[in-house]
């Protein structure tokens, strides 16, 4: 199964990606996670990416494409993959098409998780992430059973520096300008599937499973 997840910041891509990747035994490739890991480790890439992520703008296309191209060459992508947060521009989408064409493969679905702009800020600002295992929580919609620590591993929960109201608004603006045109792009290539992302987390997942495997409900 070769999938991409489209949707504005806070739509629920990462949350759904974890469950979908597990169910279909495919790697979950989040470009945002790759940048955050590099920032944490202080690599050259991390040093370049930090101020861009903090500002809510996009990392340059050539840099992101190179990272994804390398990642897709790895052995664990042989049976498929789930791209979360890539592509984010038409240039990136075209590059991905070229990469896949060169290997004679294509996408099964581009899943567009649709959420009204009005609730995105609340979703992103309330997001909390485990420092140790990366699990995602929400202060209201998916609170950890332990106060202030991860219910899975006990790790400390933190808020992404770009999950403040001002930067989230900027990211939504960037999404509308740069990424939303991909919806038409994938509609034209016949792989677009739209999912209502405003329902509770379990119901959104059920809809995605219904799409990917009819007997999975």
Q: Which residues are catalytic?
A: 13, 88, 127, 160, 171
Q: What angle do CA 170, 15, 7 make, to 5 degrees?
A: 40
CA–CA gap between residue 87 and residue 29 (Å, rounded): 11
State the binding partner of 152 from ligand ADP, Zn ion, none, CB within 5 to 8 A by kind: Zn ion
Q: Are 111 and 123 in contact, with CB atoms under 8 Å apart?
A: no
For position 129 contacting Zn ion by CB under 5 A, the verdict is no
For position 88 contacting ligand ADP by CB under 6 A, the verdict is yes
DSSP assignments along 97-162, one per residue: HHHHHHTT---SEEEEEE--HHHHHHHHHTEEEETTT--EEETTTB--SSTTB-TTT-PBEE--TT
Reference 32, options 5, 95, 20; nearest CA is: 5
Residue written as tokens 């840099």?
63
State the binding partner of 153 from ligand ADP, Zn ion, none, CB within 5 to 8 A by kind: Zn ion
> Residue 157 CB, nearest distance to Zn ion (Å)?
8
Binder of Zn ion out of 97, 122, 132, 206 (CB under 5 A): 132
**Tokens found for residue 28:** 């979950």
Binder of Zn ion out of 67, 68, 130, 174 (CB under 5 A): 130
Binding footprint of ligand ADP, residue count (CB under 6 A): 37
CB burial class (10 A; 0-12, 13-18, 19+) of residue 19?
Answer: middle
Site for ligand ADP in 25-54 (CB under 6 A): 31-32, 35, 52-53
Q: Which helix (H) or strand (E) holds 208?
A: helix 201-212
> Residue 105 CB, nearest distance to ligand ADP (Å)?
20
Q: Are 116 and 133 in contact, with CB atoms under 8 Å apart?
A: no
For position 150 contacting Zn ion by CB under 5 A, the verdict is yes
* Identity of the residue, 131 or 142, whose beta carbon is nearer to ligand ADP in the bound complex: 142
For position 141 contacting ligand ADP by CB under 6 A, the verdict is yes
For position 7 contacting ligand ADP by CB under 6 A, the verdict is yes
Binder of ligand ADP out of 6, 56, 81, 121 (CB under 6 A): 56
Q: Which residues bind Zn ion (CB under 5 A)?
A: 130, 132-133, 135, 150, 152-153, 155
Q: Which residues bind ligand ADP (CB under 6 A)?
A: 7, 9-15, 31-32, 35, 52-53, 56-59, 64, 85-88, 92, 123-124, 126-127, 136-138, 141-142, 171, 197, 200-201, 204
């Amino acid at each position: 199964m070769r999938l991409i997840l489209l949707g504005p910041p806070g739509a629920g891509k990462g949350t759904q990606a974890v469950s979908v990747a597990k169910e279909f035994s495919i790697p979950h490739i989040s470009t945002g996670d790759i940048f955050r890991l590099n920032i944490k480790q202080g690599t050259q890439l991390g040093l370049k990416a930090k101020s861009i992520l903090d500002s809510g703008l996009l990392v340059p296309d050539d840099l992101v494409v190179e990272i994804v191209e390398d990642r897709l060459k790895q052995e664990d992508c042989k049976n498929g993959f789930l791209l979360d947060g890539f592509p984010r521009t038409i240039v990136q989408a075209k590059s991905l098409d070229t990469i896949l064409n060169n290997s004679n493969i294509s996408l099964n679905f581009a899943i567009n998780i649709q959420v009204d702009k009005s609730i995105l800020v609340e979703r992103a600002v309330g997001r909390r992430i485990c420092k140790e295992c990366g699990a995602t929580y929400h202060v209201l919609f998916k609170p950890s059973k332990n106060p202030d620590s991860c219910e899975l591993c006990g790790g400390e929960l933190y808020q992404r520096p770009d999950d403040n109201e001002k930067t989230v608004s900027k990211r939504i603006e960037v999404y509308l300008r740069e990424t939303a045109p991909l919806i038409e792009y994938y509609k034209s290539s016949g792989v677009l599937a739209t999912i209502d992302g405003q329902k509770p987390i379990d119901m959104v997942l059920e809809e995605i499973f219904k799409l990917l495997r009819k007997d999975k409900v």
